[in-house]
Amino acid sequence: MLHGCGGVGAGSLGWAERLAGWGYLAAVVDSLRPRKLGDICATGWLLSSEVRAQDAFNAATYLRTLPEIDGDRVGLMGFSHGGSSAIAAALAEPGPDDSAARPFQAAVAFYPYCPTAIPTRFSTDLLIVIGQDDELNSADRCRYFVEENRDVRHAPTIKVYPGAAHAFDVPGLDTLSATGGRMRENPEAATASFEVTRRFLAERLKGR
């Protein structure tokens, strides 16, 4: 998993527990502290999505060396800044199975900043999950990105939740971001997103 711009926190750890409950081994990749970076919510340019995507590939390469890991069933999740990085990983040119660019078997991006919608080759199935009322990353931009890429292999899919703001899945959250956008829990959208994500991952990681 790739955390948001604030680093590893309750949201990431909550998802790790949830994934473990679904039968997965969950690893949270810290992209900030090893680089001696703190919160980058106002300075996201300090760490590009492509660099963080490589963090995810490197972590997956390590995980595949563990005897309890099926190397053909490794997925990726990312949130906000990490969600954008999950998209970057899904767009990365796939490498051979023994390289640090071996594709993931599934990728989920929660409330990401979606890139410019240019028909592109994807290396894995991608699910984008976002709230319609997200003031930090545009749901409509993500819809357009998905629509423009509907005819490519591994075409992305999207789930948009009406009335949901940024970080709607984080329990108890109700605050403003460093750039002024509202971040607020929406329990109904969160619960629905858990089930959508569970099914998406199960179809690609457990049903193979």
Please report, for the domain that includes residue 86, its CATH number. Answer: 3.40.50.1820
Is residue 4 a part of any domain in this protein? no
pLDDT in tens, 97-151: 656 668 899 999 999 999 986 767 899 999 999 999 999 999 999 999 999 998 8
Six token digits for residue 11: 């949201």
Whether 1 is covered by a domain: the verdict is no
Residue 158 forms part of a structural domain: yes
Q: Number of structural domains, the chain?
A: 1
DSSP SS3 for 135: coil
**Gap between the Cα atoms of 201 and 204, Å rounded:** 5
Q: What is the pairing mode between strands 182-184 and 174-176?
A: antiparallel
Q: Which conformational region is residue 148 in: left (phi greater than 0), alpha (psi within -120 to 50 degrees), or beta?
A: alpha
> In the predicted model, is pLDDT for residue 208 greater than 80?
no
Would residue 148 count as lying in a domain? Answer: yes
Q: How many other CB atoms are there within 10 angstroms of residue 66's CB atom?
A: 11
Examine residue 5 and state whether it is found in any structural domain, yes or no. Answer: no
Amino acid 117: pLDDT = 66
Contact in structure between 178 and 131 (CB atoms under 8 Å): no
142 occurs within a structural domain: yes
Domain with 90, as residue range(s), is 10-206
Residue 7: phi and psi, rounded to 5, are 95, -175
